[in-house]
Amino acid sequence: MLFYTVIAVVVILDQLTKWWVVNGFVLYESKVIIAGFFNLTYITNTGAAFGILAGAQNWWRQAFFTVIGITAMGVILYFYHKYGKNDKLYGLGLALVGGGAIGNLIDRTLQGSVVDFLDFHIGTHHWPAFNVADSAIFVGVGILLVITYRMEKAQNLESIIEK
């Protein structure tokens, strides 16, 4: 149940924050939150991370991202039911990735682009703007990588002990 709750919370927070930005900002408007470090900036992204595929034809890009999003959710559900039910942290990682994927898929399906607004920078170094869904995906993948690393390390240790 926690798995589906986390997915729902991520999707709701993602869509609420995007709604707030769309209704409270003009496109490309930026509000300084922490000078020299963090702004809220309303932009849209027709591509994937870092604008990948942003220049592709709209119909092709939409079909591609829809298939990728649905496939990703299928894979996430498979791994959750196969492995995640027995490992809450693994299930959490999958749920964060799944919630983020759904949040961005909703944007792509309804608007043809994703709303981004979290804008971090230090001096002239600027990170591409992102959103709550992207953050959830990032944290979820991080959790899954740590778990995978720990499992591989444990398996290596077991093989050394067996020798």
Among 14, 107, 119, 134, the active-site one is 134
CA gap 29, 110 in Å, rounded = 22
Is position 14 annotated as part of the catalytic site?
no
CA 143 from chain centre, in angstroms, equals 13
Is position 87 annotated as part of the catalytic site?
no
Among 14, 107, 116, 119, the active-site one is 116
Catalytic residues: 116, 134
